[in-house]
Structure 1
Amino acid sequence: AVARETARFADGDVPRPERWTGWRVAPESVEFWRDRPFRLHDRLRFDRAGSGWTKTRLWP
């Protein structure tokens, strides 16, 4: 099913109703937070650096 739809829209233009609008979200940074026992949470922040991302571990 995925291969069929990929071939169907191979030119890149996917039709949509004219009333549909949208926004492009391009974050500068994203933080992931994981709960751990005794308030020793695990926090990771990813910052955009050119065409890639850098990862930083944050302290609770």
Structure 2
Amino acid sequence: MMTTGELAEYLGLSTKTIYRNKHRLPTHRVGRGYRFRRSEIDRWLETCRENPGLL
């Protein structure tokens, strides 16, 4: 599981961008924060590459 900061670094984006678009990402709510599974993010990225209209 990655934190928002770790995901931002992994994707090369700012944390602000991650928070602004969290409804589009496969997220898990943990307490008051969000966590992201690397495998789910990788699958989501592959799906977006195949179907750019999903973004």
TM-score tier, shorter chain, comes to under 0.3
Please identify the structure whose Cα radius of gyration is greater: 1
Q: Which structure carries more strand by proportion?
A: 1
Q: Which structure carries more helix by proportion?
A: 2
Structure number with the bigger relative contact order (C-alpha 8 A, sep ≥ 6) is 2
